[in-house]
Amino acid sequence: EYGLERPQGYNVSFHYNPHVEYHHFGSSHPMKPWRLTLTKQLVLSYGLEYTMDLYEPRPASFNELAIFHDREYLSYLSEITPQNAKPDDSQYIAYGFGGDSNDCPVFDGLWNYVSLYTGASMSAAYNLLNKQSDIAINWSGGLHHAKKNLASGFCYVNDIVIAIQLLLTQHQRVLYIDIDVHHGDGVEQAFESTDRVFTLSYHKYGIDRHGWPFFPGTGNIDEMGPKDPANRGKAHSLNIPIDDGIDDHQYKWLFRTVTSKVVEKYNPQAIVLQSGADSLGGDRLGRFNLNIKAHGSCIETVKSFGRPLVLIGGGGYTPRNVARTWCHETAVCVGATLHNDLPTHIPYLQAFQGEENGDGILYPDLHNTKRHDNLNTDPALHKLVEKAMENLRYMEG
């Protein structure tokens, strides 16, 4: 009825605790957990829940978060509230809540929020370990900037690192891929001293006309992990720095060329893919010009490698397009094709109405929002791929 066809027999699971939706970073903050409400409504309205196993995971416990994070940091995080926060406190500043930045505000229910999104990523990882799923999805996770004792860039707890730690109990080599427009620095740093995780991030990199680096300011092509041959993590990171305005054709080519080579060389036993939707055209914080289907083609490419896959969310600051993208990518996982006309019985339909290019449809032309000129030339991208291939030669096979 909705154009659902499932030619490929992949077992897909969807890990989602709806309580995560009710948390607010603050009204002016770009991170809006209710984008997850929109995503879930779209997924349900297309009937995709009948094509997957649905899980409502419990929140992660303190001890589970301590798989990666320092206990002192977690104690502080579990106790802090908007009422008892002391912005001049040395711990407040040291743990990343202070400074002139309000990227990581202290809000009501913060501890519950981090436990919920991390519980869902753990649940997804367990499903791969139990062989219950070939692909396990958690759109509420993907908070890739959090460090073991530091909140950074809207991220307080690094659910990705914890999910990868679980996968490492059974898998010798895990590949982490990150298509969020920001560099996946927290995951890269967490595994910089091991050869059992390879991290690959595609992101905007560069300095703007006011002299500010694009957040977090790391991830140039020559940052490939420790160069010391004694370090087991030698050359087990690959960063693909991209300039403003990259288009569908360029990104698809870049992603497919580099990622296939990494998979061929590293031969991972499981893959974790962070699918941040801030790399879309028209994103409030992003700089790229991608359409939903080009973003989704990265998921198709990764699926085609046929390895157990955890698919997680991340950034995404134009909520209606985040929901469209993650709904499309859920369909890609189960092998379904969706109608461009949105089902008319969806709650929140008005969120998808009245747009110039996207009125009532799933696949608006986001490239037409033309907010960023394309500064990426084909020759520059070819040089970038050449350098990436050179970096890969430093990795011991």
The site for ligand ZLS (CB under 6 A) is made up of 28-30, 101-103, 143-145, 153-155, 180, 182, 215, 276, 278, 285, 314-315
Output 101 or 353, the one with its CB closest to ligand ZLS. Answer: 101
- Amino acid, res. 153: G
Q: For the chain, where are the alpha helices, taking DSSP H only?
A: 35-45, 62-65, 71-79, 90-94, 110-129, 159-167, 185-190, 248-266, 292-304, 319-334, 378-392
Q: What tokens appear for 238 in the block?
A: 């690959």
Question: Interface with Ca ion by CB under 5 A: which range of 70-78, 112-120, 177-185, 289-297?
Answer: 177-185
| Phi then psi dihedrals of residue 282, to 5 deg | 75, 10
Residue closer to ligand ZLS by CB (options 12, 164) is 164
Query: 286, 279 in Cβ contact below 8 A?
Result: yes
> Considering only residues 53-72, where is the footprint of Ca ion by CB under 5 A?
none
Single-letter amino acid, residue 315: G
> Which residue lies nearer to ligand ZLS by CB, 195 or 283?
283
* 248-266 vs 378-392: helix crossing angle, rounded to 10: 10
201 makes contact, choosing from Zn ion, ligand ZLS, Ca ion, none, with CB < 5 to 8 Å by partner type, with: Ca ion
103 binds, among Ca ion, ligand ZLS, Zn ion, none (CB under 5 to 8 A by kind): ligand ZLS
Q: Which is nearer to ligand ZLS, 29 or 265 (CB)?
A: 29
Instruction: Quote the least distance from Cβ 394 to ligand ZLS, whole Å.
Output: 27
Q: Which of residues 183-212 bind Ca ion (CB under 5 A)?
A: 201, 203
Residues paired with residue 155 on neighbouring β-strands, in sequence order:
152
Min dist. Cβ of residue 322 to ligand ZLS (A): 11
Closer residue to Ca ion, CB minimum distance, 203 or 320: 203
Q: Does 248 bind Ca ion (CB under 5 A)?
A: no
Assigned token pair, 115: 């436990």
Residue span binding Ca ion (CB under 5 A) among the ranges 11-19, 72-80, 170-178, 220-228? 170-178
Q: Can you give the binding site for Zn ion, defined by CB under 5 A? A: 180, 182, 276, 278, 315
DSSP secondary structure letters along 212-244: PBSTT----TT--S---TTSTTTT-EEEEEE-T
* Residue whose C-alpha is closest to residue 78's, from 29, 118, 130: 118
248's contact among ligand ZLS, Zn ion, Ca ion, none, with CB below 5 to 8 A by partner kind, is none
Q: Is 182 a catalytic residue?
A: no
289: closest CA among 385, 375, 384, 383? 375
Active site residues per annotation:
183
User: Which stretches of the chain bind Ca ion, using CB under 5 A?
Assistant: 178, 180, 201, 203
